[in-house]
């Protein structure tokens, strides 16, 4: 068990934005919320799943909605708690721990507020090892763990529960209700026993985000190249360096979709790179080659500071590096690629592991 203090949230939030691959909402908001909760209620007990019993109930808590909406309609603890309590009531069982559904931006830090406010421990891990835009896109789905029963709540006091026949239906219902709730809402979702979680979760991924964030702070303190440090600590690859030339962005209220264009710098001068996103960056391609696609992680970071840039923050003039990080092996089976691979998102391209693409170049 590790105690997470308010200051620890700095590295976790930055690291969460790295693994958030451009999506998952602004980690800054989640950090502020978590820090306020920790100052008020005390530090968060980050535990390994083996500290719990097999039958204990773990409940991931998360926000749903387009990141752009959450910049205006700030996340709050109240509806998170309402969702958690309402799910517990439905299940007739109390949660023994909360968890992050994804280690990406807002949703990697949101559960810290709840853990602090409830006194429940936070399990070190998540259900993706990254961030994804749709609810069925978890390793839980691949293990047959249902997203429902789940509970939704908004800041106005509306609350819903649902029990669906598939995680794809859950995504459909939650997406509609999220729109009706004003573009974002709070969820207590994927309730699972410790035994189930063990099969599906990415273990230690909160610590992993903290390590990535800390590497950036250390690089700054020791005057090292932060991009190189980040590549080292994430065991990733630098795919491109360039200047953001153009960002096309649409928010249909459900997702933030778009394309960011980069013009090469340094070794990449004269080249161009496109980053396609739907909340998260899903494909990085040049004119003649695809460099990295979902489910591998595409991370856009500031060339000077190494700090991650979300798809929402991407704007003309930023000098950035594009990193490719191998996803966890569980995302590389044919079933997983069908669930979250490039073709699901409408890209006519077969998935190829990023390390293989890098080797082939």
Residues that bind its own copies (CB under 8 A): 156-165, 169, 172-173, 176-177, 179-180
Nearer to its own copies, 18 or 150 (CB): 150
What tokens does 32 get?
Answer: 């502020």
Phi, psi of 258, rounded to the nearest 5 degrees: 170, -170
Q: How far is the CB of 115 from its own copies (least distance, A)?
A: 25
Q: How far is the CB of 153 from its own copies (least distance, A)?
A: 9
Q: How far is the CB of 169 from its own copies (least distance, A)?
A: 6
Nearer to its own copies, 179 or 224 (CB): 179
Tell me the three state secondary structure of residue 303.
coil
Phi, psi of 182, rounded to the nearest 5 degrees: 100, 20
Q: How far is the CB of 148 from its own copies (least distance, A)?
A: 9
Q: How far is the CB of 82 from its own copies (least distance, A)?
A: 10
User: For the chain, how long is the longest CA-to-CA vector?
Assistant: 61
Helical residues (DSSP H) of 201-304, grouped into ranges: 205-221, 226-234
d(CA 249, CA 245): 13
Give CA separation, 114 vs 111, 117, 121, 134, in Å. Answer: 5, 5, 9, 22
Nearer to its own copies, 159 or 290 (CB): 159
Tell me the three state secondary structure of residue 272.
strand
Nearer to its own copies, 76 or 218 (CB): 76
Nearer to its own copies, 1 or 165 (CB): 165
**86, 151 Cβ separation under 8 angstroms:** yes
């Amino acid at each position: 068990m590790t105690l997470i203090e308010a200051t620890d949230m700095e590295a976790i939030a930055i690291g969460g934005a790295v693994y958030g691959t451009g999506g998952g909402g602004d980690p800054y908001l989640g950090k502020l919320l978590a820090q306020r909760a920790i100052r008020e209620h005390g530090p968060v007990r980050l535990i390994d799943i083996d500290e719990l019993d097999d039958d204990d109930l773990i409940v991931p808590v998360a926000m749903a909605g387009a990141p752009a909406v959450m910049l205006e309609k700030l996340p709050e603890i109240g509806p998170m708690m309402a969702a958690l309590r309402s799910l517990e009531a439905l299940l007739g069982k109390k949660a023994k721990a909360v968890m992050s559904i994804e280690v990406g931006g807002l949703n990697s830090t949101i559960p810290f507020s709840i853990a602090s406010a409830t006194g429940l421990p936070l399990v070190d891990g998540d259900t993706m090892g990254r961030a994804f835009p749709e609810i069925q896109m978890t390793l839980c789905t691949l293990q047959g763990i249902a997203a429902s029963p789940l509970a939704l709540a908004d800041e106005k006091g509306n609350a819903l529960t649902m029990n669906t026949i598939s995680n794809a239906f859950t995504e459909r219902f939650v997406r509609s209700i999220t729109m009706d709730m004003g573009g974002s809402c709070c969820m207590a979702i994927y309730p699972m026993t410790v035994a189930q979680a063990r099969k599906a979760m990415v273990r230690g991924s909160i610590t992993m985000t903290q390590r990535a964030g800390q590497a950036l702070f250390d690089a700054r303190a020791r005057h090292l190249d932060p991009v190189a440090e980040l590549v080292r600590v994430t065991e990733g690859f630098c795919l491109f360096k360039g200047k953001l030339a153009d960002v096309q962005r649409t928010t249909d209220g459900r997702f933030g979709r778009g394309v960011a264009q980069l013009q090469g710098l340094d070794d990449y001068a004269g080249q161009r790179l496109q980053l396609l996103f739907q909340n998260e960056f899903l494909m990085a391609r040049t004119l003649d080659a695809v460099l990295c696609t979902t489910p591998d992680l595409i991370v856009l970071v500031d060339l000077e500071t190494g700090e991650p840039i979300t798809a929402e923050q991407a704007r003309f003039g930023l000098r950035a590096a594009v990193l490719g990080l191998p996803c966890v092996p569980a995302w590389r089976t044919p079933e997983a690629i069908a669930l979250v691979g490039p073709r699901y998102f409408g890209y006519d391209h077969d998935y190829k592991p990023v390390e293989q693409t890098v080797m082939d170049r």
